[in-house]
Structure 1
């Protein structure tokens, strides 16, 4: 059921804008935030409701996120 309702959203974000961007992609429990080699940037991975993804992608881009990638979830256990 969750695989049909959610997609996986990955993006890179400047650390100084991360708090605002994470409000858009909080994830089911929490987003995964990983450091990048460039110290003032982070990589974010989060499950996002499929129905809102177009609007969320636009807001992420406007908020400073780059390299926004969306992946289908074929199966999951949450």
Structure 2
């Protein structure tokens, strides 16, 4: 059975969306944690506002390709650890 979760995904400059996505599976030496709350940080705001350092411009290539789900500033509730 596939489980889904709500995520604030960034698909490009000025394009944040709340959407249902599949819960990722932890690979070796990774952790998947259920979160109770999520905040945004300065980097998230730069993604969303179209900062050239991420999305590129006439002077520099893009360093980021959407969609991305920012993972900072989360409050974990139940971590699942793999070995």
Q: Same fold (TM over 0.5)?
A: no
Q: Give the TM-score normalised by structure 2.
A: 0.22
How high is the TM-score relative to the length of structure 1? 0.23
Which one has more relative contact order, counting CA pairs under 8 Å at least 6 apart? 1
Larger % of helix: which? 1
